[in-house]
Structure 1
């Protein structure tokens, strides 16, 4: 039984708790948040037995791992504290505000011999894994172009993505998914070209970022003041794949072949979808693995670099940078 504690009782924490409830090999034993009332509400909703009065109390508890679900501005600091306390860490995306912070976190994981994984859920969904298997047996050739993006203008003005001091903006709030997809199919980053616009608060309201990788190119976008579809495209020489919206919770894909064939993949997900990445994370702990072979440290570092280069090109700087 892998015992978890949650740091940050917000929306992501509720989805994590929903997914964890589907895993008989894991339990949710404690929660801590800066707002005690929110921590108590999460504990009552998901029957969490302990609300820690402080972060120190949570990290001293008899738990194996911590799920960090705070805003991005605190991810690095909290991850390093949890690793130093001997806990494995599953940290919500983006893993940190920038590449330098992530390098510090990974160094701490190495020093303390603990597992650190960024919580990037798409590659663990049944549809995503089925698609990879299908393309091995009925390929469209090597993927050379990825198109993905999402804009959500329905996000209210009080949502954390609108605040610079919390690590806000579309690039860090939505962009990690798009960056992951490009890196996962096209390989390491070579360069980034970015256009966009900032809000009065200094976060990116819209960003269009084109990337070149070892094996191809991608066109990606994020935004907070427009609305877009949220699907994705993977293109090869003998066909293309349409990952239907919302592609980051993948449930349907259509593969279009150059010979006119179409193959439809339909794999609904259960329990909100967080259960798949959490099950993988638990398996790594049991096997004594310091790193995921699916969501590698190199992949997270590549994501951090891509997003940092994109936002700095727009002039987005977070406090302390």
Structure 2
């Protein structure tokens, strides 16, 4: 059993979070300043982000940079924006915000450099490889007085927000158990997710979604029990986490790269339970079953691939002069990476420099 190191937490109630979010939205509605975005990286997730920008009011892609010139040129040809000759040139191109869409081991360095250059940062998950690294990123954000947020998409989807609102109005009680996970087999050899050098593995790639879900509903992890295995390349290919959380609840998270597994999420309380149907991290349907026999079905389609919702929220925060998201606060990112750190320690998985 791994005892998770305490981190500073200032989590508000869901009602307060909703109020703060509404205030930010109202403040932003009176300000139609165009947010100029830069992107570092041109892979699949970068493409989804660029596609989603078309659904975000008053936001545009202004510049892009990748270590490889040809993909960057093709990316800009498709989505627009200036192709920059270097990362420094990207930061000096007049962008307001940077989306980091590179492999895991580079996230913290790019984030710190951008923050120090006065650029707001939306960083793809995981925000850093470990808790000490994330603390350095957050220190840089505070010193620069710039907005930093880990790009964790589920809580911004219409379905997830509708579920929150429904449970506030018609509760099932205090959550006492949460489970989430997904496992995918057949990952091609040579992919970064299988690379120890690039901080691959299931935990930081897909497991972080499940970790978000249980932390979001149960609070910070206190004790984490982990079983799992490392694959031929040295990264975790399957992990199962059982954890006790600060609010007294218990969670189960699983993630894998060598088995094919279901991807729904479950939340249980005294007066009912909720299933967010797969793929729960792109949530569109949920079923609430109450102890009194009632069944409520929620359905909320999404547009633009889904990344547009977190991007729109981030733009609103910039316009409102906020330095931290009330939906995805720094404390939550710290709690999530602490849980991943504890799991990796149990598996004996270390990355370069740790």
Following the alignment from structure 2 to structure 1, what is the Cα–Cα distance between the partners of residues 111 and 207? Answer: 21
Equivalence for 1:101: 133
Note if 1:117 corresponds to 2:149: yes
2:78 to 45, 49, 67: 45
The match for 2:40 is 7
Deviations 1:87-126 (A, max 9, x none): 0000000000000000000000000010000000000000
Could you report, residue by residue, the CA deviation over 1:254-302 in whole angstroms, capped at 9, with x for unpaired residues? 0011111110000011000000000000000001101000000000000
Deviations along 1:59-95, one digit per CA (max 9) or x if unpaired, are: 0111100000001100110000000111000000000
> 1: CA distance between counterparts of 2:186 and 2:265?
20
For 2:331, the equivalent position in structure 1 comes to 298
Between the aligned partners of 1:156 and 1:16, the Cα distance in structure 2 is: 24
Instruction: Please state if 1:133 is matched with 2:165.
Output: yes
- Aligned residue number for residue 308 of structure 1: 341
Name the residue aligned to 1:254: 287
Unpaired runs of 5+ residues, structure 1, are none
Q: How does 1:30-179 map to 2 (within 5 A)?
A: 30-46=63-79, 48-179=80-211
CA distance in 2, matches of 1:107, 1:49: 30
Aligned partner of residue 166 in structure 1, secondary structure:
coil
Deviation, structure 1 residue 39: 1.0
List per-residue Cα deviations over 1:128-179 (Å, max 9, x = no partner). 0000000011111111100110001032222211001111000000111111
Select 2:269's aligned residue among 236, 241, 253: 236
The alignment's TM-score, normalised by the length of structure 2, stands at: 0.89
Aligned position for 2:301: 268
Deviations 1:2-54 (A, max 9, x none): 000000111110010011111121010110011111111211121x2311010
Aligned mates of 1:154, 1:266 — CA distance in 2: 31
- Structure 2 residue aligned with 1:210: 242
SS at match of 1:168: coil
The residue aligned with 1:27 is 60
Q: Classify the secondary structure of the residue corresponding to 1:298.
A: helix
TM-score by length of 1: 0.99
In the alignment, the residues of structure 1 paired with residue 60 and residue 163 of structure 2 have an alpha-carbon distance, to the nearest angstrom, of 30
Give the number of equivalent residue pairs: 320
Listed as ranges, the matches of 1:278-289 within 5 Å are 278-289=311-322
CA distance in 2, matches of 1:174, 1:105: 22
8 Å contact from structure 2 (residues 274, 286) kept in 1: yes
RMSD over equivalenced CA pairs, Å:
0.7
Tell me, yes or no, if the aligned pair for 2:57 and 2:312 is still in contact at 8 Å.
Answer: no
Structure 2: stretches of 5+ with no match in the other structure? 1-33
Matched residues in 2 for 1:186 and 1:115: separation?
A: 26
Q: Any conservation in 1 of the 2:203–2:239 contact (CA below 8 Å)?
A: yes
